[in-house]
A and B are shown apart, each in its own frame.
Chain A
Amino acid sequence: DVKVTQSSRYLVKRTGEKVFLECVQDMDHENMFWYRQDPGLGLRLIYFSYDVKMKEKGDIPEGYSVSREKKERFSLILESASTNQTSMYLCASSSPHRGRAKMTFGAGSRLTVL
């Protein structure tokens, strides 16, 4: 089974801090994603990447950036954390092949910004 690993389960940061959320997958998937999960809003796509060094904005990219220097690793960066970025962040990866369309998720990182 594909494994997607997020480096931190829980983080507490202060307003204005730079925050890195790391994600690694072990199945050579081309596509990787960062979602944000909030009650009543479901999962909303922040950024995704379909290849190394390639990135595309999702639905809510403001206040975030990403980095994908290696195929297996996709990082989400909050340049200056704000309290409204307190949330659950989910990383995912998938194969680009339609016949095997399936997204596999990490366990999530719960970020609290004080």
Chain B
Amino acid sequence: AQTVTQSQPEMSVQEAETVTLSCTYDTSENNYYLFWYKQPPSRQMILVIRQEAYKQQNATENRFSVNFQKAAKSFSLKISDSQLGDTAMYFCAFMKPEYGNKLVFGAGTILRVKS
């Protein structure tokens, strides 16, 4: 079974600075997807970024980018120019393509952006 580990329960960053959230996973699969989801205080889960394991290029979405290290099974999220609206719980998730396309989540990291 796949597992996802987020080792940082809480982090904080000053506005406009850069922060990196860590995620490691365990799988014997070669083809899979990785995701970062954001859950602000409103509770609505929002997809931040997605990475296909067969793509070597790291995914980027505006101020959000990932460092995907397949051999090390590491998938960290970098947030540049942090904004107050980035304050949220961030979840790393793994998906093996199969019927159902279930996501396996890490425990989450609370990120607080300070002004």
Contact = CB atoms under 8 A, between A and B. Distances in A.
A37 B103 CA distance: 13
Contact of B9 (A40, A44, A45, A94): A40
B interface bracket (residues with beta carbon within 8 Å of A): 20 to 34
A56 B102 CA distance: 11
Nearest to B110: A39
Identify whether the interface residues of B are mostly helix, strand, loop, or mixed: loop
A105 B44 contact: yes
Interface of A: 31, 33, 35, 40-45, 48, 50, 56, 58, 88, 90, 92, 94, 96, 98, 101-105, 107-108
The 10 closest A-B pairs by CB, nearest first: A105-B45, A43-B105, A42-B105, A42-B107, A108-B43, A98-B97, A50-B100, A101-B33, A107-B44, A48-B100
23 contacts: A31-B101, A42-B4, A42-B91, A42-B107, A43-B103, A45-B104, A50-B99, A50-B100, A88-B43, A92-B45, A92-B103, A94-B101, A96-B99, A96-B101, A98-B33, A101-B33, A101-B50, A101-B95, A101-B97, A103-B101, A105-B37, A105-B45, A108-B43
